[in-house]
Every structure is written in C-alpha cells, then in structure tokens.
Structure 1
Amino acid sequence: MSLPADTEADDVDKDLYDQPLHPSDPGALSKAEITWRGRQKWLEQHGYMLRPRYHQSWRPSWKDSKKSFYDCEDGVSIWHGSIIDATRTSDGSLVVLKEIKKSRHPHEADIGLFFSAEPLASDPKNHCVPILEVLQVPDDEDLIVFVMPFLRAYRSPIFDTFGEAVAYFKQVFEGLQFMHVHHVAHRDCDGRNIMMDGVHLYPHGFHPMSAQMKPDLSGFAKHYSRTERPVKYYFIDFGISRRYSPDNEAPREPQILGGDQSVPEFRDSDEPMDPFPTDVYYLGNMIREDFINAKYGFEFMGPLVSDMVQDDPIKRPNMDEVVTRFENIQKSLNSWKLRSRVVERDAAPILNLYRFLVHWRRRINY
C-alpha cells in the first residue's frame, strides 16, 4: 500500500501502512498488532493460531456490510501490545501469548518457570500462572514469548455468593503464602494481577478480547456461577518479582511502584524496603477496596484487613499469620451467610433486582 502523496516517508512508520486499512481508519491495526501479524506464520508452525485479524490475508469484514467495526469479531483489537490471544491447534484451547524483553525483566522467566516445574507445579497451594512453553523470537535474542492458559479477570463474571468470595480469599492467601514460603516476593499483587481459570464457566465460549460477549459478538455470553463450576485463581505477571536466598530473611529492595500506588512505606522514604510486608499490604488493600468498601456484608474481613494495611510494615502479619487467622474467620461463617448474595454498593436498583431473582433461581435449582 502506497503512502499518501502529502506524507513524507521519513515522518511516518511505514509498517502502519502495511495493512488493508489506512492507519487512521476505525478498526485499523496498531503498530503492536502489526508486529504480532508478522509472527503469525511462525506461531502457527509452533502450534498456535492467531485470530483472522492477524493473518496476512485479512480483509475487514465490515467493509462488505453495514456493520460498524466494533460489531464485528475481526474488529476487536488486543488490549495490551505485548499480550495476544491464540488458539492451540493441538486441542483447540485458548491460550495467551506474552512478549517479554529479557533485558527489561530479567527475572520474569526464571520465576515463572520455577513455579511451573515439578514438584511445585502440582502442589495445590501453587497459584502462580503455569508457563506452558517459552518461545524464542527469531532474529531477536532479547525477546521471548510465554505461552500461558487463557485466564479471566478474577471478578468476571461477578461473585454471586459470599461463599464464592470466601473461596477466593482462601486461594489468594494460600497462593501468596506459597510464594513467600519459597522466598519469592511478587511486588505487584493487587487485583489487576490476579486472574482465574474461568473459561469453563462459559459453555458456548466468549470473545477473548470482549469477554462478556459471545465469540461472534452477537450477544452476551451465557455463563455458570462459580458455585456451579468452581474456579482456581492465579497470580500473574512476575516482571518485578524477586526470588531470594533462604538465608536472606529480611531482604531489602529499592522501592518500585506497581499498579497499587498507595503503599504507605513508599510515601515518606526512598530507602530500600523489605518487599514481603508490602505484598501483604497489596493483598489487604485489594480486599478493602474491592470488597469491604465496594460491597455490603464483608465486615467480617475488617479486623484482618486492617492489620494487613497498617502504615508500619513491621506491624503487619506475615502470610502464615494471615492464613491462620483467615481459617478461623472462615469457620465462624454459617451456611446461610456463605449462600447469601453479594450486593454491590453502587449497583442500580433495577440491576440489584435482576441479580436477586437470578440468585434465588439458582438456589432453588441447587
């Protein structure tokens, strides 16, 4: 495709014009997507198929219809340049491919593969995302591609009952405890880096980049609840994680802000900090913000979470103490509480009524 006549070749990225659409057209490929498209045949040779949007032969389907690009399956772009969905050709399962620059994140592969190898891989308390394969990008020794199971955001679909939320707390507590027992600090374990193996909740599938919709975007995707089909939760993204020697009981790391930038010990000091109490803060603050403050009825988590988010990191419980205290909390909850519906504080009344009816229909079925 030729460049516009009034465009100086030196002022543009020529790759952006190497596609069936002008770069400014709605639904056009981004620079990152063009990079993935260039890897399509290589990935196919390794057993991973990208969506039609990323094939050289792709022609936008909306060009021959009255639809807008956002109503078409091939109009949905990836939401992060280094991550793309794919289908494993050997069994048809959804996977995620993540590009990693080794010079920028030199520890990510080592930590991911450490938890993906036996005997740790089969330990039920291991909640680190499995690395299925590592591919070396041709012609660039600094780039590798992780192949991982396709996971969903931990709160999609929404929690139906308190029992589902309690199961979530249990898994993330034991998962972070497992990492700490093996001398690994995550350093960015807020809600954005916790996901679940929720593919089996959707009997007819969903669009990987528009996860509430059917694969063809023709409507909302039907799903089961976590009570009907229990899920497992995983920590992802070990880009700033660190693994320490067992002899180093109180390591010190330069401060680095993750997704949650409210860490108290980072406010008034630039001194290196022990990352393990900061992990405890991240998890406690996630529960405070996403459950106690956002939903009704989670006061039973208040005392534990308050201790986890104390300003002084020395006063926070370690993850062994968190797990022990949570076990006692869990035992104190009766079956009526666990089966009760979770209600969002800011949900519209009509939405709450709809969820109330759906919840009781499920309970009657049970």
Structure 2
Amino acid sequence: MIEWLWYRRSWINWLFAPLALLFALLTTARRGLYRAGWIRSYRAPVPVIVVGNITVGGNGKTPVVLWLVDLLTKAGYRPGVVSRGYGGKAPHYPYLLHSAATAAEAGDEPVLIYQRCGCPVAVAPKRASAVQLLVEQCGVDVIICDDGLQHYALQRDIELAVMDGERRLGNGWLMPMGPLRETPSRLRQVMAVICNGGQARPDEIKMSLQPAPLRNVRTNHVAIITGAVDALAGIGYPPRFFNSLLQQGYALNQQVAYADHQQFNAGELQQRFALRPLIMTEKDAVKCRDFALENWWYLPVTAQLPDKFATRLLAQLKELRHGTGL
C-alpha cells in the first residue's frame, strides 16, 4: 500500500507529512554534521566510487557496479567492492567473500557480484572496515561502494546516482510521504545521474540492460527455453523483470513477486514452480542454487552505457590517482 502511494499524489500522503518533515530535518542535520567534520568520516587511501540512488527500491545499481568492475579491470585497475550486505548475517564483520559464501551470510547482491566478476568483495555495516580489509589484504587500488550514497561515514571521490527511468522520483516527496531518501537537489551534486530505461533527460546518462542467454540455476549451463514458463522476482521492482521477459517473447503463466532480499522457503518454491520451466533474476538465483529444480533458469543482464561516459569516468579517476600519488 505504501509503495503504491509513493508513485502518486493523494490526500492520504499528507497523513505522513509530519514524519516526512522529521525525516527531512534528521537527514539534513546528519549530512551537515558530516560535512562540517563534527562527525568523523573515513578517507580511504585509494579512490572511492559510490553507486547509489535517492529513492527507495531497485533502480539498477548492481548492473552499474558490474559494469564498473569490468571497465576498471580492463583499464588495468584492481577494483574491489564493498557493501553493507543487506539481507545477510555474516559470522563476523568485515566479511571477505569466498567461493563458498552464501547469500544468507553476505547478502544476495554481494554474492552475485563476487560470482559474476571474481573481484574482491567485502561486506560490513561500517563500510570503512570493509574498505580497510580490501586495501590491506587484497591490494585493491580503487573501491566501488555498492548502495552507499547516504553512507556519509565513508568519504567518496566519485558519486554515481542510478535512477529508474520509468518511475523516476515517484511523487517527489520524502519518506514516508514518497520514495525519496534525499531531496532531488542532491542529484546536482553527483558526477552523473544514470537513467535505467525510460527516456533519459539531456543531463542524464542513458543506460540499457542487455539480456544474455538463460542459464540453469543448478549447473549454470546455457539453454533456450520455449513454451509457457513461470517467472519469479524478489527485487526492488519486479514488474521491470516481468516486462523484460514479455518483451523477449516469453509466454508467462505465473508472475510471482517477492520482497526485495527475501529469503526463500525451498519447499514452497519447489511446490509452486514444479510444473513448468521457471525463470528468475540472477539475484534470486544465488539464493536458490542449493535447492533448485532441474528446470529453473535465471536471466543474466549486462549494463550498456555510452563510451563517452566511460572515457570521462576513467579520465577523472586518473586525475584522482595522480593527485594521491598512486
């Protein structure tokens, strides 16, 4: 219900106005204290790139992180990724991912990033400790902070804000009246606003998601699936995934949405999705691999961004490294 209200303006929204005002005062004061140095923040010895957004819900940050890792690796850097590890409970923090790390320990998105890229990934509620671990133990020379735009305890050199091009800023109000974590003016302070789908504005960077062939959740083998299928999505905005499958010509029998980062019940999924092939997101697949049925598949996607933007980002990063003597 609350998410339904966030993307329209109604008299009901105004019931939450006092809470939205309190939220605005607290977030503004918190950021001001960090900027004034009254609350200490951590400065990493290597450049830090933050990928985030100012709205609640899935905007496409993880594909941007994957794109950055690939871009930086090809340019000769040794990138590492830090994340809060939302949805996971690690045995200790900071937690360095390894081949046997699970989504229950590290969160689904960090596991996805590690399995796809193979770069060092560390999670911790205090991102600074994860950064220190990657620099000291893994020798990374640039940090990518996944979903850290509002994590002001970690200083950053480059900020990238990802926006859902279809939903954009919703009704334009702060939580809980609307979906905004910060006011729209915050977007003027980032290096770039990346528009995921929809119609990008002249001052935004257009991003599209390129689907790859389906892969089996259990074996990772590639296959082509025909006929009726079921679809599952436990992400911030499931309709985007379902629509992408429809656009690719899949005939969807069931379209089942779960909460973002939800831990699945193996028995419930096996019973619900036993009759037809099931297609899910890659983020969901990392949570289902141990109990997946043979006809369960996931759809990898790759972010496509302009070459000019990649060149601009690498040039700015080169200036940063030169300034720090790296």
Higher strand content, 1 or 2:
2
Using the size of structure 2 for normalisation, the TM-score is 0.27
> Of the two structures, which has the highest relative contact order with CA contacts closer than 8 Å and spacing of 6 or more?
2
